[in-house]
Structure 1
Amino acid sequence: MTVTILVALAGAALLGVGFVAQQHAAYTEPLRRMLHLSLLADLIHKRLWLGGLAAMVGGQVLGALALREADVTRVEPLLATNLLFALGTAAVVYQERLGPGEWLGAILVSGGVAGFLLSAQPHGGGLPGPASLVWFGVLAVLAVAAVLVAVALRVALQTKAMLLAAAAGVLYGLQDVLTRGSLLSLREGPAALFTTWQPYLVPLIAAAGILLNQSAFDAAPLRISLPATTAAEPITGIVLGVAILGERLRVAPDALAGEVLGLIALVAGIVVLGRSPFLAKSEQGRSERPDPERR
């Protein structure tokens, strides 16, 4: 299990580095390209963004390897530490020291992850339940993401960025659960993998999540656009892991209290770190081209 934890943390590190690079590139794009495929078509020609995408894909591959050996409820909180690595990357790039706020956020995130895992002791789980249950979970998540996007279209720019980022995080959580289910099917042989529908849905969910994430990065600095993704993904993954894969958590009163406090600390730490000035420095790299919509 120690190896699985290290693999998940390595994946979180790559995700954090990738998010910093992607946002730095995406923030220079005109706002009118948000939620349009032309945004990705333009970004794909930028080396910095491609490097960030490669780091993100590498992080997702390591996350998949961790999910192959451990439950979603155990891996998701570890992947949520990607914001710590994003913060560290931004601090190195801009050559500034971490302040009290950053250390507080780091303690809350790390303590929240440790507290949740120690209290919940997630275990069990297996192949996805009845197809009707899986489809219900998928449709419910897609509905939540659609509502977030619909509301985002009607609100101010910073709120729009947070809602789009949250929608991306919800889809990433669904992607993680479908990946875990696909890997469990693979244990029964390659034929079992190709005869189930989950593996075919994963790339579509991933592509939609990337478009939403880059649109959020285009709208606002990383301190506004990343924390919502980082918070929504593990919460969605944990809920779906229990509902769809049958993963179990301890339900004793003391365990439930620890689980709730751990998740609260995790989300609070993400919010604190998201307010770090280091994660706002990417705003300095924005294009000088005028864009009336950004005013």
Structure 2
Amino acid sequence: MPHPERHTATGKAGELSYLSWPGPQTATPILFLHPVNTAAAVWEQVTAELGGERPAVAVDYRAHGRSGAAGPYQPGDYAADAFAVLDAAGIGRAHVVCGSIGGAVAAELTAAAPERVASIAAFGATLRVGWGADLIDEAVAALRELGVREWFTRHGGEILGPASRPGAAGELVELATVGRDGDRDLDTVIEVLQTTFGQADARAAAASIDALPPTRAFVGTHDPTCPPEMAHELAGSLGGDVREIPDIGHLPMLEDPRGTARAVHDFLSELG
């Protein structure tokens, strides 16, 4: 599988960076939506395992990866980033493969333009995280005390399961920490955290969708951030089903890219 090409698109909040992979022009492309505090590159090993069976793009949301860092940071804003990338890449309709808050982004995408979403495969995903104020304040205080890199170094591995492949925790630190011009800005990371884990809620968007796309939610049995009940809520709202992944945590695409690719392949193959 060739290395992805990196491109830029112009979004509502500024310049967006995204990765693209070639594939047969007769196949409906994949749009990858990453978990918050990672980046498009979290999907690189999954796409390698898929072996170029479909064209694909993966967006760096605003304030993530190599994209610019202007807010706001609600799921609808990340959906706007995804639309900008789809338009720049000339993709009219895509299968959406998403992780974590990407489930909420996928719902916002579908609510805004259902004709552009062929299906949704969600991994460790949710429509709403819903942390309480005390938990958010605790995380913010720790981030201010430790800094972005040290905070993710200490706590990033806590969201991974016992079957996670070696090295995944270190890769997560780099994805969460490195931005466009060096390490990500502390205040921006805090604002993203407060918005994503406290305020973000795409349940109303999901409820507004008339023509639901085929949907499957995959969830690790050891996911502490978006546990199985959140996967069932997402799947129920979008008319889909749920598959549990034994001994995997919050980031199947990073912990078990081969298994994640197999799950994507099998789901899309079922759709014909």
Would you call these one fold, judging by a TM-score over 0.5? no
Relative to total residues, which structure has the larger strand share, 1 or 2?
A: 2
Higher relative contact order (CA closer than 8 Å, sequence separation 6+) = 1
Rg (Cα) greater in structure: 1
Relative to total residues, which structure has the larger helix share, 1 or 2?
A: 1
